[in-house]
Amino acid sequence: MKMSGNTIFITGATSGIGRALAEAFHARGNKVIIGGRRRSLLDEVTKANPGIDAVEFDVSDPDQIARVTTHLIATYPALNVVINNAGIMPFDDVTGPLDDAQAVHLINTNLLGPVRISGALIGHLKQQPEAVIINNSSVVAYIPMSMAALYSATKAAIHSYSLSQRFALRGTNVQVLEIAPPWVDTDLVYKSGDARAMQLEPFIAETMALLETATTEVVVEAGRQLRDGAGPNEHAVVDYLNRMIVDNPLPGV
């Protein structure tokens, strides 16, 4: 994708990967609009980065998505890049009863949110000379983490949806890319400083470099082993990853 001169909407951009991507694209000469639930954090980002605009909304709410996407089309007619980054990562326990409210909120946020946003903006994107949809999944889309089983499943669904979306939009001006991060030390759960996590700054630098030539997916080197572990022999990789977490639990979990 071209890395400057775009008008970019990024969801979940008040912290972590979303904010870092917003600031990286802003620094490269793009018009960036960030979305998030918390006005105080949106204001913090825009104050620190003059020229970035913000819209307050909840990606899990279809009515708010409809309102915000209508506003975006009217206010930013050059909008040509959408980055579906917003997500939550609650832990769950598949050996016990389901927390139904948590599960519904997770699916609405991580899966239906990106699907609804893409659906609301696709007609507009098709009218642009060059357009890109970027869906943020995870390496746990390929090798799931048992302690976040439903989160992993939503990311697997986003990967699958991106494959279908890319094929369906073949021959159009809309490119579909997928970013599949490894464990990055952000506050998605909480910022732990765990040595096993990739630091945010090198992750963003490598991701931005890969986006320049990407045609399908972006996987940094630190995530390549898990990405490539999926397939006929994935059961051993799933067992290895989850035993490593059980034997060396995350701090505070």
Walk me through the domains of the chain, giving residue ranges and CATH numbers.
7-247 (3.40.50.720)
Closest CA to 178 of 112, 87, 84, 65: 84
pLDDT at 27 (0 to 100): 98
Please list the pLDDT of the chain residue by residue as tens digits (253 residues): 999 999 999 999 999 999 999 999 999 999 999 999 999 999 999 999 999 999 999 999 999 999 999 999 999 999 999 999 999 999 999 999 999 999 999 999 999 999 999 999 999 999 999 999 999 999 999 999 999 999 999 999 999 999 999 999 999 999 999 999 999 988 765 555 667 789 999 999 999 999 999 999 999 999 999 999 999 999 999 999 999 888 877 655 5
pLDDT at 168 (0 to 100): 98
pLDDT at 249 (0 to 100): 74
Active-site pick, 76, 142, 151, 161: 151
Residue 28, judged by CB atoms within 10 A of its CB (0-12, 13-18, 19+), counts as middle
DSSP label at 184? Answer: B
CB contact set of 160 (below 8 Å; sequence gap of 6+): none
Tally of helices (H runs) and strands (E runs) in the chain: 9, 7
pLDDT at 194 (0 to 100): 67
The question of whether 161 is a catalytic residue gets the answer no
CA distance 144 to 238: 7
CA distance 197 to 200: 9
CB contact set of 172 (below 8 Å; sequence gap of 6+): 126
pLDDT at 189 (0 to 100): 57
pLDDT at 195 (0 to 100): 72
Alpha helices in 15-174 (DSSP H): 16-27, 39-48, 62-75, 100-107, 113-126, 149-168
